[in-house]
Chain A
Amino acid sequence: MSEIHVEHPTPKKYVQIAIVLGVLTAIEIALYYTEDIVGVFTDPLLIILAVGKFVIVVGWFMHLRFENKLINRFFTGGMILALILFAIVMFERASANFF
């Protein structure tokens, strides 16, 4: 059986990634407490940070960036379907079709 080997990060690299995740979490909490200063940018910044953490964990810890395209498509497909559902419902909510 022939196998294609793709190098995964080393333990040292994983620790560095975890430090980055910890720093991003600290920034999130700091943003929460400085909402009065940051103002309308707080929520978009919190979403960007969450997306960043999500991508880091999926890409590096779950090794998705090293995986087969088919696996990437399944995972991305699930994400897209969930986001479409979210967008439709939020649009309906904004249109006051709920209650």
Chain B
Amino acid sequence: MSSSHAYPHEPTGVETRKLGMWVFLSTEILFFGTLITTFMIFKGRDFPGIKLTDVYDIPFTSISSFILLMSSLTMVLAHNALEANDQEKTRVWLLATAMLGAVFLAGQIYEFTEFYHKGFELGTNIFSSTFYVLTGFHGLHVFIGVVLLLALWSIGQRQQGLTLEGGMNLEFVALYWHFVDIVWIVLFTVVYLI
């Protein structure tokens, strides 16, 4: 059964590790908020060299965005399956999430390579630097997420399987993964569409 738990024995009423995870995500908002703000300072200004709008491919990035968005669905289904103690489904959805994340990363690597070939490089101008730092840090977060998902999947292969309590918690990895998704929701609009 799906449920949220209250922890009356904790002074805050919330599991301390879970609260810590949300505080961490809150600091991550500030981290990405700073990077987005820096990117926006230089967006729309004229700099020497090729422009981002000359090199990007909206249909391609749209498909990548859709893939990452759907990985949030598979992630929440993995969490739901674990709450129902269905180990097999949990492993399947975890692996699906990791695969979707890996496809998104492959797309980003392909996109960066294309940009470089077209002359939009890290050192082209200060705007290109802010673009690569912003999207690159997001990519790094996706990579860490994929590693965590594969680690969870690997733990799930063991005889005891995964549990919602103790050890490497699926709920926290899920929170991290959804966070990576919401950051991309903002980046897709701010960097590519506006």
A residues near B (Cβ < 8 Å) are 1-11, 14-15, 17-18, 21-22, 25, 28-29, 31-33, 43, 46-47, 49-50, 53-54, 57-58, 60-63, 66-68, 70-71, 74-75, 77-79, 81-83, 85-86, 89-90, 93, 98-99
* CA distance in complex: A39, B8 (Å): 53
Tell me the dominant secondary structure on chain B's binding face: helix
Establish whether residues A11 and B77, one from each chain, have CB atoms under 8 Å apart when the complex forms.
yes
Establish whether residues A11 and B80, one from each chain, have CB atoms under 8 Å apart when the complex forms.
yes
Residues of chain A contacted by B137 (CB below 8 angstroms): none
Establish whether residues B22 and A75, one from each chain, have CB atoms under 8 Å apart when the complex forms.
yes
Tell which of B2, B75, B185 touches A9, judged by Cβ atoms closer than 8 Å.
Answer: B2
Q: Decide if B19 is an interface residue (CB 8 Å cutoff).
A: yes
Q: Which residue on B lies nearest to A84, using beta carbons?
A: B33
Interface residues of B in 43-75 (CB under 8 A from A): 45, 58, 62, 65-66, 69-70, 72-73, 75
Residues of chain A contacted by B189 (CB below 8 angstroms): 28, 46-47, 49-50
Instruction: List 20 contacting pairs A-B, 8 Å CB cutoff, sorted by A.
Output: A1-B7, A4-B4, A5-B5, A18-B73, A25-B62, A29-B62, A46-B189, A50-B185, A54-B186, A58-B182, A61-B76, A66-B4, A68-B6, A70-B19, A78-B25, A81-B33, A82-B30, A82-B32, A82-B34, A86-B33
Q: Decide if B29 is an interface residue (CB 8 Å cutoff).
A: yes
* CA distance in complex: A10, B2 (Å): 8
Q: A5-B5, A66-B4, A81-B33 are in contact. Are A74 and B22 (CB under 8 A)?
A: yes
Residues of chain B contacted by A70 (CB below 8 angstroms): 12-14, 19
Residues of chain B contacted by A60 (CB below 8 angstroms): 76
Establish whether residues A62 and B77, one from each chain, have CB atoms under 8 Å apart when the complex forms.
no
Establish whether residues B8 and A2, one from each chain, have CB atoms under 8 Å apart when the complex forms.
yes
Tell me the dominant secondary structure on chain A's binding face: helix
* CA distance in complex: A25, B72 (Å): 14
Establish whether residues A78 and B27, one from each chain, have CB atoms under 8 Å apart when the complex forms.
yes
Q: A70-B12, A83-B33 are in contact. Are A57 and B4 (CB under 8 A)?
A: no
Q: Which residue on B lies nearest to A7, using beta carbons?
A: B2
CB distance from B148 to the nearest CB of A (A): 16
